[in-house]
Structure 1
């Protein structure tokens, strides 16, 4: 790949990191605590893992120029990977798979606009 591709990749990485920081701030402002960022396992990566009391929140951060474009970046495959990864993370929790969990999507767009879609994937 030429230099242009690596520049695009670098810009995407920086934009993703900035979006994650905005998402973290939105959760911290609501009183949540940050447990992990970019947590990895064999199934993939979870952008953010937060805690709200005994509840564990797994958050996928999506960013784009507009809210609709950010929302359009959510795929069924990603949702499945996040759920599979969350299951592995929960194995290390005191309550294991019985832990109170929520799977969120955080949309970041424009100049720092943010919306947390709570329980965006549902669970069951």
Structure 2
């Protein structure tokens, strides 16, 4: 996928940062930007090995420059959550090997602006089980 718009490049940058962060935390990468028709997109699909049932972790990556209108997490509205859940259902139909996995919806968020040539990487906030299927 060719990323031309600045927002696309920025989104890809933070998704890649989140992927590397989660891998460093022990998760295994499976897919990035998984699309299903006009239904929606899953930013990251990760696998978390557990002692019992392995877990499929659907990760929404968010970034906000300023928090005057709320945090990154605040931007994941109930409508956005429903869209992610529906897209996850389509993902599971396309990947039946995950039928017996537990499923968790996480958010990795970044707050603030990344300055050019900044020596320190932005710090992610990882919220496990940020929302669920009601």
Taking structure 1 as the reference length, the TM-score comes to: 0.82
Aligned partners of 1:59 and 1:104 also within 8 Å: yes
- Structure 2 spans left out of the alignment, 5+ residues: 115-121
Measured after TM superposition, the shift of residue 95 of structure 1 is 5.0
- Structure 1 spans left out of the alignment, 5+ residues: 1-8
**In structure 1, distance between residues paired with 2:58 and 2:128:** 10
Who is 1:37 aligned against? Answer: 32
Judging by fraction of residues, say which structure has more helix: 1
CA RMSD of aligned residues (A): 1.9
Q: Does 1:46 align with 2:42?
A: yes
Sort the Cα spacing of 1:66 and 1:117 in 2 relative to 1 into closer, same or farther, 3 A: farther
Count of residue pairs brought into register by the alignment:
115
Task: Give matches, 1:64-103, under 5 Å.
Answer: 64-66=64-66, 68-91=70-93, 92-96=95-99, 98-103=100-105
- Give CA-to-partner distance per residue, 1:45-79, whole Å, 9 cap, x none: 00000001221000111101246432232122111
**In structure 1, distance between residues paired with 2:10 and 2:90:** 28
